[in-house]
């Protein structure tokens, strides 16, 4: 396969795996896009593990495989894998901080546990661990050798990562619930029957209230990021700023429908996303 086809294949896989982050990555400088795509693919691969294994033990085995693969990448021992190979190429260019990869992997171990989330504080920690480290890697891609030298940029990225993950949990709730993955705090759902599976647009009262609380929490983190963004150069972290704008669009749309993800209109279509991101990327608003 020639180099052009490899690039095209990497882009296609990233688009299929995580369309939203892929769209934002398209607005990055051309020479770093492949690196961003490789990070997106890695994150998508570990994020889906709990959905494709038949029992937790198999999921932990897969996560350990990825821990070993990451260690191998840093030793220069690269496995013949469609994700590992481009990840190694990205590492050679950007000298990524290894701990961020392990934080993402360790965060996904929680997906394999029963009673995953006990409190809203636990949910925030989960959101941070499974989202923010990926954006720190984005930072290291966009700001070589100075990714974390600016406290405002680092804090902004952390807040966007948390808000993005919380918003994603709301949007994915119907799917997670149908698969038996309850990603809401158990202290809010105590003695709740969850929902009548025969009525896909009627979350129970406790579930509904929990989704609203998660939405408010996501908004609070995004608002904190907004208070910081004046201290941050848009060009330096364009992809993360675009993710923040898309996150805000999702939250604004969800709030119009009282954070009920079962209502189709609470989502945003791909064309609208592209228009929104293009406007922000090229016009700044």
Q: What does the pLDDT look like over 73-96, one tens digit per residue?
A: 999 988 888 999 999 999 999 999
Residues 117-126 have pLDDT tens digits of 889 999 999 9
Q: How confident is the model at residue 198 (pLDDT cuts 50, 70, 90)?
A: very low
What pLDDT, on the 0 to 100 scale, is given for residue 192?
54
Whole-number mean pLDDT of the chain?
89
What pLDDT, on the 0 to 100 scale, is given for residue 191?
52
Examine the pLDDT at 212 and tell me if it is beyond 80.
yes
State the average pLDDT over residues 134-146. 89
- DSSP string across 158-186: HHHHHHHHHHHHHHTHHHHHHTT---S-T
Residues 156-191 have pLDDT tens digits of 999 999 999 999 999 999 988 888 788 888 887 765
What separation in angstroms does the CA of 212 have from each of 170, 215, 223, 244, 255?
9, 5, 16, 19, 8
What pLDDT, on the 0 to 100 scale, is given for residue 201?
55
Neighbours of 60 (CB within 10 A): 15
Q: Is the dihedral of CA 209, 215, 221, 227 positive or negative?
A: negative
Domain boundaries, the chain: 3-283
Chain position carrying tokens 């807040």: 159
Fold entry, domain 3-283: Farnesyl Diphosphate Synthase (1.10.600)
pTM of the model: 0.92
C-alpha to C-alpha distance for 123 and 143, rounded to whole angstroms: 29
Q: How confident is the model at residue 144 (pLDDT cuts 50, 70, 90)?
A: confident
Residues 47-70 have pLDDT tens digits of 999 999 989 999 999 999 999 999
- Give exposure, 136-166, as e/b (b: 16+ Cβ within 10 Å): bbbbbbbbeeebeebeebbbbbbbbbbbbbb
Q: How confident is the model at residue 1 (pLDDT cuts 50, 70, 90)?
A: very low
């Amino acid at each position: 396969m020639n180099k052009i086809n490899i690039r095209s294949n990497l882009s296609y896989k990233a688009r299929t795996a995580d369309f939203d982050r892929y769209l934002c990555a398209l607005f990055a400088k051309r020479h770093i896009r492949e690196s961003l795509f490789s990070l997106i693919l890695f994150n998508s691969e570990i994020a889906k593990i709990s959905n494709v294994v038949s029992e937790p033990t198999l999921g932990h085995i897969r996560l350990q495989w990825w821990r070993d693969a990451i260690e191998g990448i840093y030793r220069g021992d690269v496995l013949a894998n469609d994700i590992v190979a481009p990840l190694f190429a990205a590492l050679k260019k950007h000298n990524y901080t290894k701990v961020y990869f392990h934080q993402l992997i360790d965060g996904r171990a929680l997906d394999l546990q029963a009673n995953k989330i006990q409190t809203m504080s636990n949910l925030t920690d989960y959101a941070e661990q499974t989202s923010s480290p990926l954006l720190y890697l984005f930072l290291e891609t966009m700001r070589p050798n100075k990714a974390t030298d600016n406290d405002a940029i680092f804090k902004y990225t952390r807040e966007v990562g948390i808000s993005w993950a919380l918003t994603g949990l709301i949007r994915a709730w119907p799917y997670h619930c149908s698969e038996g993955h309850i990603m809401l705090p158990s202290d809010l759902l105590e003695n709740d029957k969850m929902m009548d599976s025969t009525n896909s647009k009627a979350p129970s009262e406790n579930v509904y209230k929990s989704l609203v609380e998660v939405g408010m929490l996501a908004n609070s983190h995004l608002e904190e990021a907004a208070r910081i963004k004046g201290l941050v150069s848009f060009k330096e972290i364009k992809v993360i700023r675009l993710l923040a704008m898309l996150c805000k669009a999702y939250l604004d749309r969800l709030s119009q429908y009282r954070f009920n993800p079962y209502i189709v209109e609470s989502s945003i279509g791909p064309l609208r996303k592209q228009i929104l991101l293009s406007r922000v990327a090229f016009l700044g608003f």
